[in-house]
Amino acid sequence: MKKRRSNGEGGLSWDKERQKWCGTLRDTNGKPHKFRHVDKVEVINWLNKMRLVYSSLNPLYSYDTTLQDFAFAFIKNKAANPKIAESTVNYYTYLASKLYPLANEVMNKITPEDIDAFIAEADLSASNKAKVYKFLKILFGSARKNNLILENPMDIAIVPEYEPEYDEPFTPEEIKLIITKLKNTPKFLRYYALCSLESVIGARIGEILGIERSTLNFEKNYCKIKDAVKADINGRTYVGKTKTKASVRIQYFDAGIGKILQDYLAACNVDSKYLFCTANGTPISVRNMQRAWKMILKHANVRYRSFHYLRHSFITEMFIQGYAAADIAAVVGHSRLETTNKYALRRQDKVLEIAKTAANIYNIA
């Protein structure tokens, strides 16, 4: 398809193949966005609307822009793109808050030495230093694309040393112990129901906290995951969208779990929209659930790993049981199989078992 050359940052052309007008506009990262419609006026209106959005991001084109202004203009641009997940915008906002005092410097005057000194002296964990470094690479890469800087200091800045630690997932025996301890402690009825459900669906912590009672179906034994409890940059709890579109799903469970949930709801005297809630009927915050999880593990005398490791453990066990990655991904709400495979953590006992099996196959004494 031949197109008329775009004028400036965007343009209008006739898509002969689709028989529609096509509006093309590059965002501040240089990425083209397209909108097609049979009505030429609709496309022109879209172009004008998007130009207005991008024109508010002038800091991305100013040579006197500080790193702070550039970062937040960059984030604002991402937020305006419907294809960018809300969680990504929140993550970038969090990282932008960690850029001080470097954030006050004019971007085209920042040197590799400035970045090295900032990373070395920053009061951040090794993990956060690595995350901030990657965020700076994204920001300076975008600045270079916009010709805001002639050279990218991140090309020769020192990469901070960080080796992520991957802990062992919970074993089936540990999970059984946790659930048994909760079952035998009446005051933990809510957490007994919550952990029982989590152990068989492998949901994200925010997803299980965001399940609504109205989505429960005890005849067919399923619930719907469509929202997630989150925390904003200031730590305030809110209910928002799930991480990805694939995360919105029908989540099945067996009759035994259904009975546990029914018993829990029968004993719960709090009227709430949410399956698991506080005494006031509001959703449990992620932070409070993490605190409760520490208490639960201590009560069960099980070594601490974060609540998210229940999800890791679920995926790992389903792989061990021989289920296909595509089926597991559908259950846990992953949009890419690569993500499912990444979360399938190895279990040391299975690694040793594989070694013994291999030795037996080849009759190695």
pLDDT, tens only, 93-110: 989 999 999 999 999 899
What pLDDT is recorded for position 357?
65
- Number of other CB atoms surrounding residue 308 within 10 Å: 13
Residue indicated by tokens 């690479």? 137
What pLDDT is recorded for position 345?
60
Structure tokens at 17: 């193949």
Ranges of the chain with pLDDT below 70: 1-10, 27-30, 51-63, 233-234, 344-359, 361-365
Domain boundaries along the sequence of the chain:
10-55, 86-155, 172-348
What pLDDT is recorded for position 154?
94
Report the phi/psi class of residue 148: left, alpha or beta, with left for phi > 0 and alpha for psi in -120 to 50. Answer: alpha
The stretches of the chain forming alpha helices (DSSP H) are: 40-55, 67-80, 86-96, 112-121, 126-145, 172-183, 189-201, 205-209, 255-267, 286-300, 308-320, 325-332, 337-343, 348-361
pTM above 0.95, yes or no: no
What pLDDT is recorded for position 311?
93
What pLDDT is recorded for position 2?
41
Q: What CATH fold (topology level) applies to the domain 172-348?
A: hpI Integrase; Chain A (1.10.443)
Structure tokens at 97: 């808050």
pLDDT digits (tens, 9 = 90+) for 137-184: 999 998 887 777 878 999 999 999 887 777 788 999 999 999 999 999
What pLDDT is recorded for position 146?
72
What pLDDT is recorded for position 149?
81
**C-alpha to C-alpha distance for 103 and 121, rounded to whole angstroms:** 14
What pLDDT is recorded for position 1?
38
Q: Answer positive or negative: Cα dihedral of 200, 204, 209, 212.
A: negative
